[in-house]
Chains A and B, each alone.
Chain A
Amino acid sequence: DIQMTQSPSSLSASIGDRVTITCRASQSISTYLQWYQQKPGKAPKLLIYDASSLQSGVPSRFTGSGSGTDFTLTISSLQPEDFATYYCQQSYSTPELTFGGGTKVEIK
């Protein structure tokens, strides 16, 4: 299985901060990488697909980048509704899809 490692596992940030989350794959996955946002008690929500494509309806302050083994999710200006846990997911080794361990974004 392809292992996905996210860092940091948690971070504290203030409203308006620029936030960057990293996801590293154990082997090259091209750009077959998605990002999801999950709030407590809710289902994950798709934010970014194919490493850098913004899902319809998702605010433009969310951007994804990277290819190969290293990927980033950036929130350009953190908003109150962005406090959540973020997960990456690889779809290179279909159907054995795997997720990162998550990054919890908390209020500073």
Chain B
Amino acid sequence: EVQLVESGGGLVQPGGSLRLSCAASGFTFSNYDMHWVRQTTGKGLEWVSVIGTAGDTYYSGSVKGRFTISRENAKNSLYLQMNSLRAEDTAVYFCARDVGTVTNRFDPWGQGTLVTVSS
């Protein structure tokens, strides 16, 4: 069974840091681009970042320069290092596999991990 399991969420103060992890199983992790997508009550679903099979990375404008996506294929793991956190980064963070051949589509998604940025 293809499965993604996120961890690492929690409560952090503004300006703080947090590292999210996503453990993949049931497929050849190194063959897929992997994304982070977040969901807030107010703004809905927001794409955050992607890392390609070759390690190329892209970020949304709202997190560029503060977040770093990485992967460790030997451990079938995806990461999101989040620095300089702001209240508006409060969200449920999902990792998702990109199964698109020409364009991007997400399947499956993990169950999500909640990040709360508050003093």
Known contacts A43-B112, A91-B100, A96-B60; A55 and B107 CB within 8 A of each other = yes
Q: Which residues of A contact B107 (CB under 8 A)?
A: 45-46, 55
A18 to B47, CA, bound (A): 31
Distance, CA A45 to CA B112, complexed state (A): 13
Which of B47, B94, B99, B108 lies in contact with A97, CB distance below 8 A?
B47
Complex Cα distance, B50 from A55, in Å, reads 22
Known contacts A32-B103, A91-B100; A99/B45 CB under 8 A: yes
Distance between Cα atoms of A46 and B47 in the complex (Å): 15
User: What's the dominant secondary structure at chain B's contact region?
Assistant: strand
B105 adjacent to chain A (CB < 8 Å): yes
B residues 89-119 near A (Cβ < 8 Å) are 94, 99-100, 103-112
Q: Are A46 and B45 in contact (CB under 8 A)?
A: no
Least Cβ distance of A37 to chain B in Å?
A: 11
Tell me the minimal C-beta distance from A8 to chain B in angstroms. 15
Chain A contributes a number of interface residues (CB within 8 A of B) equal to 24
Interface assignment of B72: CB less than 8 Å from any CB of chain A? no
Bound-complex Cα distance A47 to B2 (A): 17
Q: Are A42 and B47 in contact (CB under 8 A)?
A: no
- Report Cα–Cα, A91/B100, bound state, in Å: 10
Residue among A42, A45, A46 with the highest chain B CB neighbour number at 10 A: A46
Complex contact B47–A87 (CB within 8 A): no
- Please, which residues of chain B bring their CB within 8 A of the CB of A97? 35, 47, 104
